[in-house]
Amino acid sequence: MFWKIVSVVLASILKTFFAPAAGFAAGLSFGTTFAASAVGAIIGFVFFYFLFDKISNFYYKNRKKAMTAKRIKRARKIVMMKKKYPVWLFVPMLPVTSIPVMAVIVRRFFHHNKPVFALSLLTVTLFALVGCLVFSPIQYL
């Protein structure tokens, strides 16, 4: 039983939406599968969020680059995207990709906005719930 829960947690660290399928296929109940996938999603998001912070600090620590035309154009696109799409609309779409990609995007572009971290944790928990609801018929096969 313990290793089944651990496998759901580990699967949920990378892909929250599909991890409950493994839990239901292993014979876990709805509550256990939801708790394991939600805990795995939160652990994965927090781990990759702060890991990217450490990696980016190490990488950009002694690096000074002049602003080229290409970098200025990219920076303008990012600013326009952040102005055009509100955070509460953009962040809930991110878990569709994966937890590490979501953590990197949130850390890179929205680290100054403090409620985004809490919104991201809520979003991954809701995706764990949606995954459990979608894949719960597996337990009756």
Residue 26 has pLDDT above 80, yes or no: yes
Percentage of the chain exceeding pLDDT 70: 96
Residue 18 domain boundaries: 2-140
- How many distinct structural domains can be found in the chain? 1
Answer positive or negative: Cα dihedral of 112, 116, 128, 93: negative
Q: Binning pLDDT at 50, 70 and 90, where does residue 55 land? A: confident
Neighbours of 1 (CB within 10 A): 9
- How many residues does the structure list for the chain? 141
State pLDDT tens for residues 71-105: 778 778 777 877 777 777 777 777 778 888 888 88
Q: What is the mean pLDDT of residues 40-49?
A: 93
pLDDT for the residue 66 = 67
